């Protein structure tokens, strides 16, 4: 049972959206123009932009700091500008470095959304079961919204999606379960057995995105 729970945790982790929130300290002011916004619209399409979403839409905000350190995630329900203005904190413009970092973050997040959507589309298409049209349309629109229009980059994203599918497939699930069985209390695997199993997982079952 423990190894099955470990597999479920790995699957959940692979599907989870991981957003790094990098916040600038209050002493230097809120860099509103260097923020990245992520939200899901009423159709379920994921959007990533340096511009705020329309009023009334919940969003996640990534604020870039020159330190590169991270604090806990914050909700997009209330911006920092109003709070800082009340405290007399000066709002400063984003530097070229921060704008470049913001663009890198947007590209990285869009790449992840693209790869996850492409993998889901491929999995549904190969599943041999009836697919909900609305779900398929949502995934396709998310891919269209976030995947690159550059042919070379798009091929890389499709390759990552294929590797993600393999990492979530039966072969890799069995490989992780076998490793968990080898590590069970009372088991006596040889060093070579552990090494072989771990190397297989690292080579074939490591998800390209989380």
pLDDT category, 27, cuts 50, 70, 90?
A: very low
The pair of structure tokens assigned to 200 is 């297989």
Q: Which residues pair with 75 in a beta bridge?
A: 60
**Mean of the pLDDT values across residues 103-125?**
90
Contact 176, 201 (CB under 8 A): yes
pLDDT digit string (tens) for 188-210? Answer: 889 999 999 999 999 989 888 87
Mean of the per-residue pLDDT values for the chain? Answer: 73
For 64-75, how does the pLDDT look when each residue is reduced to its tens digit (9 = 90+)? 654 444 333 444
- Give pLDDT tens digits for 138-185: 999 999 999 999 999 999 999 999 999 999 899 999 999 999 999 988
Q: Where are the beta strands (DSSP E) in the chain?
A: 35-40, 46-49, 60-63
Q: From residue 87, give the alpha-carbon distance in Å to each of 15, 29, 55, 83, 199.
A: 40, 10, 24, 7, 54
Give the whole-angstrom CA distance, residue 38 versus residue 40: 7
């Amino acid at each position: 049972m423990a190894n099955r729970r470990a597999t479920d945790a790995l699957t959940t982790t692979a599907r989870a959206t991981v957003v790094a929130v990098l916040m600038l300290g209050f002493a230097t002011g809120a860099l509103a123009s260097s923020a990245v916004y992520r939200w899901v619209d009423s159709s379920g399409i994921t959007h990533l932009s340096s511009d705020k979403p329309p009023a009334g839409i919940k969003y996640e905000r990534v604020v870039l700091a020159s330190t590169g350190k991270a604090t806990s995630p914050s909700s997009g329900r209330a911006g920092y500008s109003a709070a800082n203005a009340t405290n007399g904190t000066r709002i400063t413009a984003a530097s070229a470095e921060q704008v470049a970092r913001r663009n890198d973050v947007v590209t990285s997040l869009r790449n992840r959304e693209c790869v996850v959507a492409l993998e889901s589309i491929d999995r549904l298409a190969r599943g041999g079961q009836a697919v909900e049209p609305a779900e398929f349309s949502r995934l396709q629109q998310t891919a269209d919204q976030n995947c690159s229009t550059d042919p070379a980059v798009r091929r890389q994203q499709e390759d990552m999606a294929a590797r993600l599918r393999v990492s979530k497939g039966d072969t890799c699930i069995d490989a992780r379960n076998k490793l968990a069985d080898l590590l069970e209390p009372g088991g006596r695997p040889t060093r070579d057995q552990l090494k072989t199993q771990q190397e297989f997982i690292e080579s074939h079952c490591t998800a390209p995105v989380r």
